[in-house]
Amino acid sequence: MAEDPEAWAVDSNEALNLTLYSPSASNPLSFHPEFTYPLFGDAETIYGYKGLKVALDFAAWDMRGHVQIQYQQKLDTAEGVQVDDVLEILKEYLPEGLHSLPYHHLTLDIFYDQNDFQLYLANPSFNPPGELIHTYTINSNSYAVYKSSLRDAATVSLVRRLQLFILLFIEGGSYIDTTDDRWQVYLL
C-alpha cells in the first residue's frame, strides 16, 4: 500500500479542465468546473494518481469533444488498492458517439484520438437544428436564435453532448429525459 494515501488523492475540480474551441477565436476558452461530485463522489477526489490532468476539449459550435488523461504517476493496483479509472468514470457521463458507422472517426460525439479531434476542429461545419426564429446584431456581431424539440434527432444528439455541463455547473442539476418530446430547446 502507498505510504501516504493522501498523496495519491487529487482534487477532481482542479484536475479536470474544460476547453472550448471556436473557429473564430485564436485563443480557446479554458476553465475548471464548479462541481465534480456527480462524477467523482461527494469528496470530489480522484484516487490513485500524482500530477493528474484530465482535459475535456469541445468544439464550441456543436460540442463534440475530446478526452485526454495525463499523469506523472499512477498507483500500482498490484498492491491491493483501488485506483479510480478516470476514463471509465467519464464514459458514464459522456455521449456514446456513433462508433458503429464507417469512417466513424469524424462523426464521434467524443474523440479519444487527438489527431482525429484536431482534424475535426480544422473543418468546422454546423447548422443548428430547428427553426430560425430570431436574429439580431450587437456591436457588429450577429446572433441567431433557433427553436427545436426533442422530436428532432439532431437536437437530441446536441442536448446529450451539452448535458455534462449541467452536472459540472448547476448545483444539484440532472440530465433531462431526452425521450420526452415535450421539451422545447432554444439555441443561440
pLDDT digits (tens, 9 = 90+) for 45-75: 999 999 999 999 999 999 988 889 999 999 9
Which of 73, 105, 125 is the last residue before a domain boundary? Answer: 125
Residues 91, 80: Cα–Cα separation, whole Å: 24
Q: Which of 145, 135, 151 has its CA nearest to residue 184?
A: 151
Which of 91, 125, 159 is the last residue before a domain boundary? Answer: 125
All three cell numbers of 9: 488523492
Looking up residue 171, the CATH number of its domain turns out to be 3.40.630.30
In the block, which residue shows the cell 494518481? Answer: 49
- Position 38 pLDDT exceeds 50: yes
Specify whether 4 is located in the same domain as 14: yes
Which of 125, 148, 168 is the last residue before a domain boundary? Answer: 125
Residues 54, 68: Cα–Cα separation, whole Å: 6
Specify whether 80 is located in the same domain as 132: no
Please check whether residue 166 is in contact with residue 32, taking contact to mean a CB–CB distance below 8 angstroms.
no
Specify whether 99 is located in the same domain as 56: yes
Range of the domain at 169: 127-188
For the segment 91-97, the average pLDDT, to the nearest whole number, is 79
- Structurally, how many domains does the chain consist of? 2
Specify whether 110 is located in the same domain as 171: no
Lowest mean pLDDT among 1-15, 93-107, 117-131: 93-107
Percent of the chain clearing pLDDT 70 (strictly above): 91
- Position 145 pLDDT exceeds 80: yes
For the segment 32-46, the average pLDDT, to the nearest whole number, is 96
For the segment 129-155, the average pLDDT, to the nearest whole number, is 95
Specify whether 112 is located in the same domain as 149: no
CA dihedral 9, 10, 11, 17 (to 10 degrees): -160
- Residues 150-160: pLDDT tens digits? 999 999 999 99
All three cell numbers of 88: 471509465
Specify whether 79 is located in the same domain as 105: yes
Q: What is the DSSP letter of 71?
A: -
Q: Which of 42, 68, 54 has its CA nearest to residue 15?
A: 54
